[in-house]
Amino acid sequence: MIDKPFYIILAAYSFSFGMLGAQFLADSYGITLTGPDGSPIKNALLEYVNQDQLNTFSQNVTASNNGTSWGLEPIKQAGDIATFLFYLVTGTLIFNFLYLFGIPAIFIIPIVIIYFILLGRAIIALIRGI
């Protein structure tokens, strides 16, 4: 197997999970991580999974007669969580942080394309047993 794509993918996973761990540690100690421009970097799951809002939705759903008064907000939140988990599973969460740090998208997009090409090559090589 060609190891260079595998090492690049492993590095992206490591950076992604390292930043995720740093976010959880910072959030648990009440520290807000910020980018160079001062915008706060928060974990998307903590923002999407708002327990008070979920409790309000569940009370509205169980109290309503037809079950349609709660709207599409839980479905939107489920889509946001699915997008975040896709970033995490594919290892592309670190590229989202690059965008949050103010790097223009025109520089990030080619890196992401190359990353997906290397990811595809590595998956094919693992399947074939090379």
Tens-digit pLDDT profile for residues 81-122 = 888 888 877 878 788 877 877 778 888 888 888 888 888 888
Tens-digit pLDDT profile for residues 2-31 = 677 777 777 877 777 777 777 777 777 878
Tens-digit pLDDT profile for residues 38-64 = 877 766 666 666 667 667 766 766 665
Q: Under a CB-based contact definition with an 8 Å cutoff, are residues 4 and 86 in contact?
A: no
Comparing CA positions, the residue from 84, 94, 101 lying closest to residue 115 is 94
Report the alpha-carbon distance of residue 100 to residue 111 in Å, rounded.
15
Number of domains in the chain: 1
The one-letter amino acid at 97:
F
Structural domain containing residue 10: 3-128
